[in-house]
Amino acid sequence: MKDIAQRAGVSESAVSFALNDRPGVSALTRDRIRRVAEQLGWHPSTAARALSGEGSATVGLVVARPAANLGVDSFFLQLISGIQEVLAERRLGLLFQVVEDVAAECAVYRRWWAERRVDGVLVVDPRTDDPRVALLDELGLPGVVIGALPGGDTGPHPGLSQIRADDAGAMAAVVGRLHELGHRRIVHIAGLPSLAHTDRRIRSLRVEADRRGLTEAHSVTTDYSDTEGAAVTRRVLEHGTPPTAIVYDNDVMAAAGVVVTAGLGLRVPADVSVVSWEDSALCRLTAPWLTALSRDTVAFGRLAARELTALLDGGTAHTIQVPLPRLIERGSTAAVNGA
C-alpha cells in the first residue's frame, strides 16, 4: 500500500478505499490507484479477504474415489472442464482434492470451513446414506449437489441446490430399447454400490425386468475400473446362460468388456450387444463403435458452477432437473438372432 500510495501521489488510506471498493475517493483517483496497483503487480490476498469476511474467491470440490480410476474417467474430466469455464469467468479458484472415503471428505469440509478456505462447494457422487448434506447444513456452507440426493430428498436445505439426473428414466429407456431388439438376458455391470445413482439404476432395472418378465436381467457392482469391468464381463459370459446384452456404467468398463468378449471368441453385437452409460471419444475408438447414453457433461458442469455462483451472490437454493440422456445407437447393438 505504501508503494502504491507513493507512486500515485495519494495517502495509504486512499489506496485502501480504492482497492477495497469503499467510498472516500473520487472515481478519477480510484482509477489512477488501480492502474498503479496493476503496474506494480498487486493482487488481493485471499487469506486477508477471508479474515475480513469478504470471502476467499475459491470454491471446493472433493472426490471420494480411488485416484487411479479418475485419470481415465471421461465424465469427471468433462465435468471439471465445464465447472472451470464458469469459475474462470468469475475469477474464482477451484480447490480440488481426492480422498479415500466420505468420512475423509467430511473432514475436509470441516477444515475448509474452519480455515475459511472456500466460499462454497460442489458435491459429487451422492450416497445412499449420505452424511454430507446434514454437515453442510450444519456448517452453513453453500453447495451444489451434482446428482440427485438419495430417495429424492429435496430439502429443506436452504444453502444447497441440486442438479438432478434421471438415472431411473435413462435405465428404463435402455432396457426398453434392448427389449425391442429381442434381448431377454440383460446384465448391468454397475459402479460403486454405495452411490445413490448406482442404486437408482439397479432399482430401475429390476422394475423394468419385472414389468417385462425378464427373469434373467440383473446387476453386478464394481469399482468402475477397467480391471473389474473386464473380470465381471468374463464371469457373466462364461456362465451357463450368458447374457445377450450388457449395459456398463461407464465407457472404460464397456471398452474393456468388448476386448474380453472378443478374447472369448464371441462377436459384438452378433453374440452380445454392448451399451455404455457415458459417451466419449473412447466409445468411438473401439471396434465396433459403442452404443452409448449421451449427455453434454461439460454443460452439466457449467450449470452446476453457475448454480453455485448464484448461491454465493445471495440467491436461493433450488433443484434443477437436467434432460434425459439420449441413446445413440452405433455398431455395438443389434437385434438378437431370430428376434
Asked whether the whole model's pTM tops 0.85, one would answer: no
Query: Radius of gyration over alpha carbons of the chain, in Å?
Result: 25
Task: Give me the tens of pLDDT residue by residue for the chain, a chain 339 residues long.
Answer: 888 888 888 898 888 888 877 788 888 888 888 888 888 777 665 544 444 445 679 999 999 987 777 767 788 889 999 999 999 999 999 999 999 999 999 999 999 999 999 999 999 999 988 999 999 999 999 999 998 887 655 556 888 999 999 999 999 999 999 999 999 999 999 999 999 999 999 999 999 999 999 999 999 999 999 999 999 999 999 999 999 999 999 999 999 999 999 999 999 999 999 999 999 999 999 999 999 999 999 999 999 999 999 999 999 998 999 999 999 999 999 999 755
Question: What was the pLDDT predicted at 1?
Answer: 81
Residue labelled with grid coordinates 440422456: 325
Helix 132-139 and helix 102-115, axial crossing angle in degrees, nearest 10: 10
Alpha helices in the chain (DSSP H): 2-8, 12-19, 27-39, 46-51, 67-70, 74-89, 102-115, 132-139, 167-180, 196-212, 226-237, 251-263, 297-312
Predicted pLDDT at 51: 44
Contacts of 80 (CB under 8 A, 6+ apart): 61, 94, 96, 301
